[in-house]
Amino acid sequence: MPLEPPSARGSDRRAARLAAHRARREVVLFVDEIDIHKNPRIGPDWTLRGQQRYVETPGRNEKRYLAGAYDHAQGRLIYVEGDRKASWLFVRLLHLLASIYHRTRTIHLILDNYVIHKSRWVEKALRELGGRIELHFLPPYAPQENRIERLWKDVHDNVTRNHDKKTMIDLLEAIFQYLSTRLNTQREPLGC
């Protein structure tokens, strides 16, 4: 009998562990952030033969960030928006997850080793939330293990690459619309 590649065996074991967590009133979420730039990401695009697409780059770039948690089992995305990718953005996501999954015993977050996930502010928020949220860090250079990475790639491929939006608000609305047509989404109410 041929052996499976090590990565496939690891994925099978991981999937079995995740299923066991769900049975114990626990939820497993994949967490990451996405950078959104008003200047479009330039990339390949379909056009008619002999024609070229014009993509305007407005000059001064404006940025926003989404911190999201993807529940693969439910097809659900929960996210918050901010003007900087910082620990406070991740902490806002933690509090939103704790309120949404208030009946869940433990919330397991699978995420990368980015510095904002390990700050003292995050550690304090995790203590305040009573240990209900557990962070599980992926090995370095393993984005293929985080399912939300595929979702963010899809957003870049279909919304932010070569976009023609004039304002950041228009671009964000296009992203929110795109996500809500593909997933059950929930975002933090504005003003929070």
Domain architecture of the chain: domains with CATH: 33-38+60-187 (3.30.420.10)
| β-strand pairing of 26-37 with 63-71 | antiparallel
Please say whether the beta carbons of 109 and 101 come within 8 A: no
Please say whether the beta carbons of 49 and 34 come within 8 A: no
Report the pLDDT value the prediction gives residue 189, as an integer from 0 to 100.
61
Report the pLDDT value the prediction gives residue 187, as an integer from 0 to 100.
79
Report the pLDDT value the prediction gives residue 47, as an integer from 0 to 100.
66
Q: Which is nearest to 129 in space by CA: 157, 101, 150?
A: 101
Report the pLDDT value the prediction gives residue 192, as an integer from 0 to 100.
45
Report the pLDDT value the prediction gives residue 178, as an integer from 0 to 100.
93
| DSSP string of 145-167, one letter each residue | G-HHHHHHHHHIIIIIBT---SS
Q: Within 13 Å of residue 50, how many CA atoms lie on the same side as its CB?
A: 0
Per-residue pLDDT of the chain (192 residues; tens, 9 = 90+): 333 444 445 556 666 666 665 556 899 999 999 999 887 766 666 667 877 666 666 667 889 999 999 999 889 999 999 999 999 999 999 999 999 999 999 999 999 999 999 999 999 999 999 999 999 999 888 878 889 999 999 998 888 887 788 888 999 999 999 999 988 888 776 544
CA distances from 135 to 39, 109, 166 (A): 33, 5, 38
Q: Whole-prediction pTM value?
A: 0.80
Round to whole Å and give the CA distance between 39 and 165.
Answer: 9
Report the pLDDT value the prediction gives residue 182, as an integer from 0 to 100.
87
Over the Cα atoms of the chain, what is R_g? 19
| β-strand pairing of 106-111 with 76-82 | unpaired
Report the pLDDT value the prediction gives residue 191, as an integer from 0 to 100.
47
**Sign, Cα dihedral of 11, 14, 18, 19:** positive
Please say whether the beta carbons of 46 and 154 come within 8 A: no
